Amino acid sequence: MELLNIINNNARIIPTDLSIHTQYLLPYLDDLKRASEDSTFSTPEASIRLPFDEEIRDEVRRLATKLQNPKLKHIVVLGIGGSNLGTQAIYEATHGRHTEFRPLRLFFGDTVSPRLLTYLTKILIEGTESPEEFVINLISKSGTTTETIANFEVLYERLAKKFSAEAIASRIVATTDEGSKLRHTADENGFHHLSIPKNVGGRFSVFSAVGLLPLELVGIDTKQLLDGARDMAELCLKTAENPALTSAALTYTHSKNGININNSFFFNPELESCGKWYRQLMGESIGKEKDIDGKVVRTGITPMVSIGSTDLHSMAQLYFGGPRNIFHTLIYGPNKGFDAQLPSELKLQNLVDGINGKDVKSIMNAIIGGVKAAFVKNAMPYTEINFPEINEYYLGQYLQLKMIEMMFLAKLMNLNAFDQPNVEDYKDETRRLLSI
C-alpha cells in the first residue's frame, strides 16, 4: 500500500500551533473510528463506514451485472450536487474530459438546461436503437429534487414514444433514501432501486450506491477506489499523526489569520471536477450561519478551483500580487499511458528555450517547480498532494482524505458538518413561484 504523497513543509504554520488543534481533536478521532465500525450507519459521520461495507458494493455489482450487456453504450446520471459531483470527478479524472471516442460513456444531466436536454435527447433517443443500449440512473437523496425529476420527465416522455414502458423501466435505476417517496414510485413503476443510508448526506455519498453504480457500469475499478478510501480512512483514524487532521488544522489556523479562501490548484486539467466536488464539500460543510450551539457566527471558507497551467495565464497575477488571503493546495500526478515527446529539432526555433526533446510531462513539472519556487520566494503558504498515479486507488484516497478533513475542520470550528439549513429560503420561494 502506497499513499498519496502529502507535503506540508511550505504551509507556513508553526508546529506548536498545529499541535494545540490536533490535541483538541483526539476525542473526535474515537467517534470517527466508531462510525467506521458501525454497520448500521447510525452516526452523523456514517459515510466513513461506506468503503468498509461489502454489502453495498455487492448489491451494486449484482445490479450492474444485470444491466450490463454488449450493447450498453450510454449511462445517463440524472442528479445534481451530491448526486453527481463525486461520480463526475472520478469519471473525468480517470477517462479525461473528452470522451467522445469511447464506446461506453457517462453523461450527466444536472441542472435544467434546454441545451443540455437537447444534447441528452440526441444521445438517448436518436442515438439508441434498443433499451439495452442505455441505463438511466435517477439519483435524488430526498427523492424530490426539482431539476432531477424535471429532466427525467422530459427524457422519459421522449423515450416512451420509442420504446415500451416495460422495456424502459428495466433500464432505469432510482438511487434514493430507503423511505423516500421516489423509492415507492420507483417500485410502482418497476424500476430498479438502490438505497442511500439515511445518515450519509449527498456531499459525503460518493462511496455509496450514488457513485458506485454509474462508475461500475462505465468500467471504473470500484474495488480499487474503495480500497484507496479504506486505506486512507484507516490511516486517518489511527493516531493524531494523520494527513486529514493535519490538513484540517492547517486550514483552520490560516482561516483564523484571515486566509479565508481555499484554492485547489490542479495541474492536471482532468481533475477540475475533483475541485467542483470539493467546493460542495467545503462550501456546505463549513459555510454556516450558526455554530453547533446555535450562536450566529456567519463563518466559512470560500473554496475555489484553479487549473495549472491554464490559470497561471489568468489568476496568477492576483495570487502573487494581490491580497494574502488564499491558502493553496497544489495537486498533481502522472496519467499512466499518456505522454508525448517534443521533437529534438523544433519547427519553430528560438522561441522557447529548453523544450526540444523533452516530454510534455517534464515541461509541466518545470512549470509546477516554477510555481512552487515563486510561492516560497513570496512567502505564500501552500501544501501539496502528489498522486503517484491518477487512478482509482489514489482517487479513493484523495476523496476520503478530504471528507475526513472536512469533519475535523467542522469540529475545530464548532460547526455541524452535515446540515445545510440556509438553502431553504430560495427553495421555499422557488416552490411558491412554481405553484403559481
Looking at residues 112 to 131 of the shown chain, list those that interact with a second copy (rule: CB under 8 A).
112-119, 121-122
Give the one residue of 6, 104, 125, 355 binding a second copy; rule: CB under 8 A.
355
Which run of H or of E encompasses 397? helix 392-412
Q: Catalytic: which of 98, 161, 313, 377?
A: 313
292 binds a second copy (CB under 8 A): no
Taking residues 248 to 267 in sequence order and writing x for each that binds a second copy by CB under 8 A, - otherwise, the string is ------------xx------
Q: Rounded distance, CA 75 to CA 401, Å?
A: 28
190 binds a second copy (CB under 8 A): no
Mark the segment that binds a second copy (CB under 8 A) among 7-15, 18-26, 243-251, 285-293. Answer: 285-293
For the CB of residue 345, give the shortest distance to a second copy in the complex, in Å: 10
Does the active-site annotation cover 313? yes
Burial of 114 (0-12, 13-18, 19+ CB in 10 A): exposed
Kindly identify the residues of this chain, within the stretch 150-169, that bind a second copy according to CB under 8 A. Answer: 150, 152-154, 156-157, 160
Q: Rounded distance, CA 16 to CA 31, Å?
A: 24
CA neighbor of 178 nearest in space, from 156, 224, 209, 203: 209
> In this structure, are residues 215 and 90 in contact, taking their beta carbons and an 8 Å threshold?
yes
Q: Rounded distance, CA 217 to CA 73, Å?
A: 10
Measured from the CB atom, the residue of 40 and 118 that comes closer to a second copy is 118
> In this structure, are residues 311 and 326 in contact, taking their beta carbons and an 8 Å threshold?
no
Mark the segment that binds a second copy (CB under 8 A) among 91-99, 128-136, 218-226, 238-246. Answer: 91-99
Burial of 407 (0-12, 13-18, 19+ CB in 10 A): buried
Q: Catalytic: which of 284, 384, 392, 405?
A: 284
289 binds a second copy (CB under 8 A): yes
For the CB of residue 171, give the shortest distance to a second copy in the complex, in Å: 14
The helix/strand/coil state of 80 is coil
Q: Rounded distance, CA 214 to CA 104, Å?
A: 11
For the CB of residue 133, give the shortest distance to a second copy in the complex, in Å: 17
CA neighbor of 390 nearest in space, from 206, 263, 225: 225
For the CB of residue 57, give the shortest distance to a second copy in the complex, in Å: 26
285 phi and psi angles, rounded to 5 deg: -75, -35
Measured from the CB atom, the residue of 33 and 361 that comes closer to a second copy is 361
Kindly identify the residues of this chain, within the stretch 13-72, that bind a second copy according to CB under 8 A. Answer: none
Q: Rounded distance, CA 83 to CA 213, Å?
A: 12
10 binds a second copy (CB under 8 A): no
379 binds a second copy (CB under 8 A): no
313 binds a second copy (CB under 8 A): yes
Residue 306, beta-bridge partner list: 265
Strands 326-332 and 261-266: parallel
* DSSP 8-state class, residue 421: G
For the CB of residue 132, give the shortest distance to a second copy in the complex, in Å: 21
For the CB of residue 32, give the shortest distance to a second copy in the complex, in Å: 22
Taking residues 200 to 239 in sequence order and writing x for each that binds a second copy by CB under 8 A, - otherwise, the string is --x-------------------------------------
Q: Rounded distance, CA 320 to CA 385, Å?
A: 21
> In this structure, are residues 259 and 323 in contact, taking their beta carbons and an 8 Å threshold?
no
- List helix spans (H) across 79-164: 85-95, 114-121, 146-160
Mark the segment that binds a second copy (CB under 8 A) among 9-17, 48-56, 240-248, 417-425. Answer: 417-425
For the CB of residue 11, give the shortest distance to a second copy in the complex, in Å: 19
Mark the segment that binds a second copy (CB under 8 A) among 62-70, 208-216, 231-239, 421-429. Answer: 421-429
Which run of H or of E encompasses 174? strand 172-177
Measured from the CB atom, the residue of 14 and 436 that comes closer to a second copy is 436
Measured from the CB atom, the residue of 195 and 242 that comes closer to a second copy is 195
List, by residue number, the catalytic residues: 284, 313, 427
